[in-house]
């Protein structure tokens, strides 16, 4: 498995007590597959992604990314693993206003310590893959909402991640554009062999996923497919 969470428990401080956001969650995601995570607001979906992304360390349990047990990493080690092996697409396209689409991707190469100039060609290829061949030199304000989300998907793939974590990618899009973005994510997952986890409220698109799991009150309640 490319992504393995076993018996993960995460709590947050809550006044004098602790709030349990994840309660003994286990999830394994094979390469080249999409696991959709659904569940009510506050059930722990974003917390699950944050733990898988190594952005938050769980209180208990194991998170293994591309064969690396992240429990043994310090902050710098986790950040390096994240940059090299994990692609993240957030709900809102968090692009840098002053940079062109290609430059948004080149920054990722720079952050991973790779040379920026050769990254240009790779950025252009990836943008073409997500249907933005003609938009590489446009800045975010010159792109539609769907195009901006495509830039963030291409950016997440820039360093060839093993794990792709996607939080509500269609929430800002209408039905057809949302469907197109999800089709693209499934296609890229198959082509690149990423272990993809997709948090979504949108039950209309679930048939695209290989598996659907449901979070309820910090637990993985139902698993289908
Ligand atoms: N930084 C934090 N500090 C304290 N409590 C938090 C923090 N982040 C989340 N929580 C709490 O943890 C629980 C799970 O939150 P989480 O954001 O993971 O849920 P979610 O399923 O992603 O919700 P939504 O669908 O509304 O985004 C909630 O009760 C939330 O209030």
pLDDT tens per residue, range 148-179: 989 999 999 998 899 999 998 877 777 787 88
Higher-confidence residue of 180 and 29: namely: 29
Nearest CA to ligand 1 atom 14: 44
Neighbours of 60 (CB within 10 A): 12
Q: Give residue limits of the domains in the chain.
A: 3-94+162-224
Question: Region 23-37: what's the mean pLDDT?
Answer: 96
Nearest CA to ligand 1 atom 30: 42
The fold of the 3-94+162-224 domain, in CATH, is: Rossmann fold (3.40.50)
- The confidence score (pLDDT) of residue 222 equals 63
Question: Region 73-85: what's the mean pLDDT?
Answer: 93
List residues near ligand 1 (CB under 6 A). 12, 19, 21, 39, 41-47
Which ipTM did the prediction report?
Answer: 0.96
- The confidence score (pLDDT) of residue 53 equals 95
Indicate the pTM of the whole model: 0.91
Neighbours of 77 (CB within 10 A): 13
The two structure tokens encoding residue 9: 């428990």
What percent of the chain clears pLDDT 90, i.e. is strictly above it? 74
- Do 201 and 168 contact (CB within 8 A), yes or no? yes
What are the residues facing 28 on neighbouring strands? 4
């Amino acid at each position: 498995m490319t992504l393995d969470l076993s018996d993960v428990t995460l709590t947050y401080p809550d006044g004098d007590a602790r709030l349990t956001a994840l309660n003994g969650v286990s999830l394994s995601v094979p390469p080249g597959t999409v696991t959709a995570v659904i569940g009510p607001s506050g059930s722990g979906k974003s917390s699950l992604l944050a733990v898988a992304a190594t952005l938050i360390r769980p209180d208990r349990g194991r998170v293994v990314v591309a064969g690396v047990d992240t429990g043994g990493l310090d902050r710098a080690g986790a950040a390096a693993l994240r940059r090299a092996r994990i692609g993240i697409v957030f709900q809102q396209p968090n692009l840098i206003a002053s940079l062109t689409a290609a430059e948004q991707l080149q920054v990722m190469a720079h952050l991973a310590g790779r040379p920026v100039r050769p990254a240009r060609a790779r950025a252009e290829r990836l943008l073409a893959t997500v249907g933005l061949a003609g938009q590489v030199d446009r800045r975010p304000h010159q792109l539609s909402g769907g195009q901006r989300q495509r830039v963030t998907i291409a950016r997440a793939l820039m360093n060839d991640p093993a794990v792709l974590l996607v939080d509500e990618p269609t929430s800002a899009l209408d039905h057809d554009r949302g469907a197109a973005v999800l089709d693209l994510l499934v296609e890229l997952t198959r082509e690149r062999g990423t272990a993809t986890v997709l948090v979504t409220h949108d039950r209309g698109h679930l048939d695209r996923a290989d598996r659907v799991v449901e979070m309820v009150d910090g637990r993985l309640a139902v698993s289908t497919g």
